[in-house]
């Protein structure tokens, strides 16, 4: 048990921070800890959590994805056309929305891997393209999502928010098994030491491509879930989610240099970030001061993670990490 805690200390400390923040939030919220409050909170968290998971897979293989928000915008506007009809149409539409996300991630990956271009530049460019297409689809926010389906995804089951159930299901049914596969190991290996992974016989290119495609899939899931919460399509959501997804993975203990961190960490990081801004909303602080305080909290949380550098007694190590 202690071993498990030590191996996942980043996630554990992030979880403690989240619990404290959530406690403070529920305490200060005028309506207290009710299913209603928790459901609203969980829905907001899950949107960002899915975006953070998208970012996580790319960061894991030592990349960074500036198109997470753009893929969300594109899939969200697309969803506002295809998720309005009959049950069968919605099912096919959902698959199409997520497949579109995967395709976007795959495009990023193909350019990065075979074009040998830095992920930050590739995703900056493709991000603009994805937003451009989203704007063509929906120049102004609009469209609609089938309300019954949206309700099913965003309300609660027996008092437990559906969003929480989805988050738990993703971890248990998808992440924990994936971590045990050769693919899961290979993604970590590439992020940690690409040379060692290559010399161990890993097909580095294909695994990296896979990580980018998984990132796209999760961005598609995020865009699709965003549609359920807002029931419209909006092409203007990209920048906010991209930057917050990066902040969320860092808060969740994922190393931007790759190879370190878990999907659970990304999920917790996203919840922390969302809870901070919700806290601000009910804190009574003047609205104009809120971004400032939010930024300070974020900077402080990230700075704690690099305190270790102060203890390094070999100055060369400061450059190697």
Distance (Å) of CA 233 to CA 43, 75, 214, 228: 17, 9, 23, 10
| Separation CA 193–CA 126 (nearest Å) | 27
Q: Which is nearer to other proteins, 62 or 228 (CB)?
A: 62
**Under the criterion CB under 8 A, does residue 189 sit at the interface with other proteins?**
yes
Orientation angle between helical segments 35-60 and 204-230, nearest 10 degrees: 160
Q: Residue 68: exposed, middle, or buried by beta-carbon count in 10 A (0-12, 13-18, 19+)?
A: buried
181 binds other proteins (CB under 8 A): yes
Candidates 103-111, 115-123, 200-208, 271-279 — which segment interacts with other proteins by CB under 8 A?
A: 200-208
In degrees rounded to 5, what are phi and psi of residue 94? Answer: -60, -45
**Which residue in 19, 152, 173, 203 binds other proteins (CB under 8 A)?**
203
> 246-265: which residues touch other proteins (CB under 8 A)?
259-260
Q: Binding to other proteins by residue 118, rule CB under 8 A? A: no
- Packing angle of the helix pair 119-137, 87-115 (nearest 10 deg): 150
The answer to whether 8 contacts other proteins (rule: CB under 8 A) is no
Q: By CB under 8 A, tell whether 81 contacts other proteins.
A: no
Q: Is 172 in the site for other proteins (CB under 8 A)?
A: no
Work out whether 315 is an interface residue with other proteins (CB under 8 A): yes
Say how many residues touch other proteins, by CB under 8 A: 31
Instruction: Give the per-residue SS3 of 65-119.
Output: CCCHHHHHHHHHHHHHHHCCCCHHHHHHHHHHHHHHHHHHHHHHHHHHHHHCCCH
The distance of closest approach from Cβ of residue 188 to other proteins in the complex, given in angstroms and rounded to an integer, is 6
Complex with other proteins: residue 32 or 177, whichever CB lies closer: 177
Nearer to other proteins, 199 or 288 (CB): 199
**Residue found by looking up tokens 């940690």 in the block:** 192
- Looking at the Cβ atoms of 211 and 247, the one nearer to other proteins is 211
CB of 201 to other proteins, least distance (A): 4
Q: Note the residues at the interface with other proteins (CB under 8 A).
A: 3, 7, 177, 180-183, 185-186, 188-189, 191-193, 195-203, 207, 259-260, 312-316
């Amino acid at each position: 048990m202690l071993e498990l805690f030590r191996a996942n200390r980043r996630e554990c400390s992030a979880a403690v921070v989240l619990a404290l923040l959530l406690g403070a939030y529920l305490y200060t919220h005028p309506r207290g800890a009710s299913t209603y409050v928790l459901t609203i909170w969980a829905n907001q968290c899950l949107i960002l959590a899915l975006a953070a998971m998208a970012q996580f897979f790319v960061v894991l293989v030592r990349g960074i994805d500036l198109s997470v928000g753009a893929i969300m915008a594109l899939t969200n506007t697309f969803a506002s056309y295809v998720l309005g009809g009959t049950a069968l149409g919605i099912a096919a539409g959902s698959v199409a929305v997520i497949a579109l996300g995967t395709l976007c991630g795959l495009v990023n990956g193909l350019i990065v891997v075979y074009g040998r271009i830095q992920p930050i530049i590739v995703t900056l460019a493709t991000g603009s393209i994805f937003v451009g297409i989203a704007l063509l689809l929906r120049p102004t926010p609009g469209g609609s999502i089938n309300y019954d389906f949206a309700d099913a995804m965003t309300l609660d089951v027996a008092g437990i928010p559906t969003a929480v159930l989805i988050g738990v299901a993703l971890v248990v049914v998808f992440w924990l098994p994936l971590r045990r596969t050769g693919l899961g190991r290979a993604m970590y290996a590439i992020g940690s030491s690409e040379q060692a992974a290559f010399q161990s016989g890993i097909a580095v290119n294909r695994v990296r491509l896979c990580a980018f495609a998984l990132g796209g899939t999760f961005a598609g899931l995020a865009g699709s879930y965003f549609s359920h919460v807002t029931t419209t399509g909006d092409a203007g959501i990209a920048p906010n989610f991209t930057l917050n997804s990066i902040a969320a993975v860092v808060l969740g203990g994922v190393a931007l240099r790759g190879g370190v961190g878990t999907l659970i960490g990304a999920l917790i990081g996203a919840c922390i970030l969302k809870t901070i801004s919700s806290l601000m909303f009910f804190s009574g602080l003047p609205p104009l001061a809120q971004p400032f305080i939010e930024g300070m909290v974020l900077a402080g949380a990230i700075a704690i993670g690099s305190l270790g550098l102060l203890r390094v007694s070999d100055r060369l190590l400061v450059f190697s990490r």
